[in-house]
Structure 1
């Protein structure tokens, strides 16, 4: 691109916090500052980029030209670079990727945008892929491995199967009385365990799983009851619209509308917890990005169990755990196709990993080590950490997708008890003493 055109993009990028118009409207860009290999002069170049866990990838395509671009030669000579992503500026170490790692990541980029393949076809060289790793120390991921024996793993699978024929029942002391009158025009139901009045505790929003396509209100009410006990507040189960009849962004819009409705009814954001499982976990993380972009106050904390964070299906565990999990790559591909309905899988908020992850509330992610979505959770946790966020990642050894469903049982297995204990412990760590003032009491509704 001509230097004057580059300069126009740079100015627009900086003026609009990373957003530009024209031919690059909606594209994910960064500004890369390198040091001239011969002159020592600093040069700023706008580049397309791809997130990859706690690092960012750039591709030295030069529009398919036969020679590598000048910025690439500069970082070979001095791999210490400066990155501007529209939200922050940081120092990074550039590393040229080689072999299988390079090929896999270039293929991922080309799948999302065929233009990369066209550049490679006419370049007459192997186009380099470069990883930019921040040098500033991020908040570390609070990683906890939850051990389990082979017998415990087998018991979880047996319990999950048994629930198909012997369905657990909602405890008799569950209170289904509506706590607040409005849910933003979205269907939903309230479930409260005993001794947790809304005026003292706040609200937990629960977004169910089911591949964006299915719902089981009876079992979801039990999950809401368990969440009410461990979070210490009433739970609003969101009955969001389902694919394929209602595709992206219908479900996401519903979750956001429910959250906004609580704020409109004077529930402080600081007393709201967002929680979700599987597809619901994806929707929770997506909703955080939508709310942040809109300048809406974010919830106190968010819980996502086994979320899918990258709908490009690029996480290594999707291949490594295929056949080990109750969910397969084929299932994920079907789910993404039904949900997205043509929306790009490499963009946020539909794929939360591809969003700007700074400024999020404290997060707890839980996932089984045998899940195909293991690395979706891991990569997202690392990316939030790299963006300066506070995130805990619990990995339950030997557990498949939906292992958390065992908390529904009348006699929960040890892994279910551990999960509930971990959530309660995490809530205790994040809870702050309510401040006195206008928001110190919540309406109870009629």
Structure 2
């Protein structure tokens, strides 16, 4: 935090992670609650997909996943699984776009001093897992296509675990995890757009960008109308968004990028009225509240159901998968690379800025968050589908690696953060002891 930041004292400017404003803390709590439900549904639907794909009725699962629907002349004859990954997941990325814009316009990431450490930590949490994967698979250039698989963190899954084990963990730690995940999503979007686009059709791309611009102009010009009329977004903006998505899909760029760009066009702040700022939530926050249930309750779980369904093939198949360098690279990247990348980069960044940890947080806490960040699921599964063809054995082995690594990372994070949570609970109980017997705690726990 620089001294030019009027919202922080010099003492606060030297501590990390930042506690954030009161409004920001309340917003983080709302996100945590909603992502917890989404994470639970994600796990349940993925488990059903895996169970069905390995059951006596597996052929029906793969028939449904590979069933083609759509209009070929518009490049929209896709399988049900592709509709889930290219179409439904665009809703998830639309919300990612809203969240990113809100953080950089009105959230704590608008301050360079607050943003720099979590941004660097997220970058380290992407680079080090990718490096581990490359070190394991460098002998085969074909396998290197999956270098980005272990770089992503599934925030819904991670938050669901945090909600179960971390009820008493310090709020700066929770804010750090959410901020880390937001930047992680931004990097994942850039990776998909830059490294997983093989060819670009210029005309559909230009038409897609033009449609996105029209979408943004309407959203900006009539922000109050869409704020007050919930149905208007479904009747006006949704059809325009679908057209933009179709053009971007036809251009060769992964269609989920359209969701991000559409999210970026939604205004975060209200227009001033008579020169006075409006205190109501901006349209981006309103849309996030309206559409998050659709994403967390339907879009992402359906994607997980179709994407996580891997035919392991019994003991022999599992043995073959465990011997695959792709699986080994993915697991080492997520379980080992993520916490090392996040913690080491954070340590270097704080030392370079002469900062210190918030007194309520220790390095073992950050290590636990790093382990939690090793839960890669939604975006990791998507990158797997972009890296390997479905007929390639490495495709299924990578998914098995993601599933196993996420389970191991969740278990290790539960051990570390669960122990820390018990310690913080004891501290809160000790701080709230009534020492003088008047029935009122002498010292209240830190919120």
Q: TM-score range by the shorter chain?
A: under 0.3
TM-score, normalised relative to structure 1: 0.23
Report the structure, 1 or 2, having the larger helix content: 2
Structure scoring higher RCO (CA < 8 A, sep ≥ 6) equals 2
